């Protein structure tokens, strides 16, 4: 699974960090918390755990770090009767667990506390919360927003006289974006590229799909429990083709082949890429990089999209295992981490984007992002998010998409070719499950 935006744990550094934490250990009465994080993100989670433990010393939390395949790891744990009490849930993966009965419907707890449930609902974002609704049940509560947008080099933009949009409601169109990318691309006398106008640090065919969605059509219909893909819709195909052409036709972005040997993040950090597509998970990598003057802007919209730009929900949530013997204690932790107290810690950390409006517009969040002028790209992101797809079949669907879309991204086929066998195979797979 290509989940660069929640960069999979590299080595054992974060595991060692958590093992050294006071809340880890072998206490059999502790609530086990399974999650995935980079080392600095793990530290932010420890702050949440430490504050929870300070307020609730009667409930201990023991952390379990995820490997590179969290879904398989969770299934293995649960099949062996050792399912973690609290589990990190991904918008593209949780439905498989919910469908198997692995997760608790959190309405069990929310219905008991209607005042808190109403407060959470009023303070949250429907797009994020509803992403974790499956078969009418609330199987996770969102804990962070990780939608994607564009980082840009302020110095390079100023030198080129380009002023990008500052919010989702004032998006640029494809032509404006392409003109900027061309102006920012720089080649030497031999035609070698010294600087790219655009680079992509996300999963390429996910990114291409967002360009399609910004041309006026969703990727899957309906987004939750879809019965068909819109790969064959001319609007979607045009958006996907526009993204592919940035590399294969206009040469303002590295090709798929180039990207296998060149780190998009390194290109942006070194000033060899003027724009970078990615999410907030990259912010901490850039904010500490001396000499990098950057800001954020939104994705472009096609002729059939807009007027504002959209992005993906990109949310992770917290879920509770159906087999947990510590449901009540687990709920207290989930309630804290996804509620105002935990979200305030997330906001002030600068490592995540919170999922409650009160935390999003707090002084702590603004202070943690004081280097960003276009803060609305973060604060308005959840309200302008759309689900990519929620289905327990995502793994199989993704394999078909990977094979079909990558031919387009490599320039071996045109996007409208996906209306053939790729669309047929995906639609048959989806409809067979309904």
Q: Which of 17-26, 47-56, 279-288 has the lowest mean pLDDT?
A: 17-26
- Phi/psi at 74 (nearest 5 deg)? -65, -40
pLDDT per residue as tens digits for the range 163-191: 999 999 999 999 999 999 999 999 999 98
Say if 66 falls within a structural domain.
Answer: yes
Of the two residues 356 and 81, the one the predictor is more confident about is: 356
pLDDT per residue as tens digits for the range 255-270: 987 777 789 999 999 9
Single pTM value for the model: 0.91
Note whether 307 and 176 are same-domain residues: yes
Note whether 406 and 292 are same-domain residues: yes
Residue 132 three-state SS? coil
Say if 372 falls within a structural domain.
Answer: no
Note whether 412 and 303 are same-domain residues: yes
Note whether 108 and 200 are same-domain residues: no
Q: Which residue has the tokens 């802007």?
A: 297
The answer for residues whose C-beta is within 8 angstroms of residue 58's C-beta and 6 or more apart is none
pLDDT per residue as tens digits for the range 213-225: 999 999 999 999 9
Structure token digits, residue 179: 């003109």
How far, CA to CA in Å, does 195 sit from each of 44, 49, 190, 254, 416? 34, 43, 14, 10, 30
Structure token digits, residue 18: 């958590």
Note whether 421 and 273 are same-domain residues: yes
Q: Is 87 left (phi over 0), alpha (psi -120 to 50) or beta?
A: beta
Say if 377 falls within a structural domain.
Answer: no
Note whether 172 and 275 are same-domain residues: yes
Note whether 60 and 164 are same-domain residues: no
Q: Which of 3-17, 63-77, 114-128, 131-145 has the lowest mean pLDDT?
A: 3-17
Q: In this structure, are residues 186 and 251 in contact, taking their beta carbons and an 8 Å threshold? A: no
Note whether 250 and 350 are same-domain residues: no
For residue 13, the model assigns a pLDDT of 37
pLDDT per residue as tens digits for the range 377-396: 999 999 999 999 999 999 99
For residue 87, the model assigns a pLDDT of 95
In percent, the amount of the chain with pLDDT more than 70 equals: 94
What stretch of H or E contains 279? strand 275-279
The C-alpha atoms of residue 1 and residue 12 are separated, in whole angstroms, by: 20
The C-alpha atoms of residue 236 and residue 215 are separated, in whole angstroms, by: 6
Could you list the residue range(s) of the whole structural domain that residue 237 is in?
148-312+389-432
Note whether 61 and 109 are same-domain residues: yes
Q: How many domains does the chain have?
A: 2
Say if 378 falls within a structural domain.
Answer: no
Say if 291 falls within a structural domain.
Answer: yes
């Amino acid at each position: 699974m290509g989940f660069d935006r929640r960069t999979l744990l590299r080595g054992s550094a974060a595991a060692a960090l958590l093992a050294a934490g006071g809340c880890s250990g072998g206490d059999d009465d502790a609530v086990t918390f399974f999650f995935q994080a980079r080392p600095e993100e793990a530290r932010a989670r420890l702050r949440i755990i430490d504050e929870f433990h300070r307020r609730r010393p009667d409930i201990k939390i023991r952390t379990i770090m995820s490997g590179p395949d969290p879904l398989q790891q969770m299934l293995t744990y649960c099949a062996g009767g050792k399912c973690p009490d609290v589990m990190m849930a991904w918008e593209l993966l949780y439905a498989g667990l919910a469908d198997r009965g692995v997760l608790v419907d959190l309405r069990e707890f929310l219905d008991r506390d209607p005042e808190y449930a109403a407060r959470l609902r009023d303070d949250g974002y429907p797009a994020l919360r509803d992403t974790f609704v499956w078969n009418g049940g609330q199987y996770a509560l969102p804990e962070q927003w990780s939608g994607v947008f564009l980082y840009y080099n302020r110095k390079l933009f100023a030198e080129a006289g380009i002023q990008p949009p500052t919010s989702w409601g004032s998006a640029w169109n494809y032509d404006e974006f392409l003109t900027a990318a061309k102006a920012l691309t720089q080649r030497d006398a031999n035609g070698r590229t010294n600087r790219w106008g655009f680079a992509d640090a996300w999963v390429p065919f996910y990114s291409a799909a967002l360009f399609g969605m910004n041309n006026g059509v969703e990727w899957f219909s309906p987004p939750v429990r879809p019965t068909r893909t819109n790969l064959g819709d001319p609007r979607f195909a045009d958006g996907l083709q526009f993204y592919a052409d940035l590399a294969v036709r206009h040469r303002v972005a590295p090709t798929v082949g180039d990207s296998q040997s060149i780190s998009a993040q390194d290109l942006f950090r070194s000033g060899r890429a003027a724009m970078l597509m990615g999410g907030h998970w990259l912010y901490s990598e850039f904010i500490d990089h001396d000499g990098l003057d950057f800001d954020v802007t939104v994705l472009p919209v096609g002729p059939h999209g807009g007027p504002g730009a959209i992005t993906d929900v990109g949310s992770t949530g917290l879920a509770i295992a159906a087999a947990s013997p510590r449901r009540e204690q687990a709920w207290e932790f989930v309630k804290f981490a996804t509620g105002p107290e935990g979200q305030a810690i997330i906001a002030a950390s600068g490592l995540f984007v919170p999922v409650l409006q009160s935390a999003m517009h707090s002084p702590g969040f603004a202070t943690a992002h004081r280097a960003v002028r276009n803060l609305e790209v973060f604060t308005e992101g959840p309200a302008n998010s759309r689900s990519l797809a929620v289905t327990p079949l995502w793994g199989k669907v993704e394999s078909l998409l990977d094979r079909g879309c990558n031919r387009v991204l490599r320039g071996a086929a045109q996007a409208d070719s996906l209306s053939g066998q790729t669309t047929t195979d995906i639609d048959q797979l989806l409809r067979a499950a309904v």
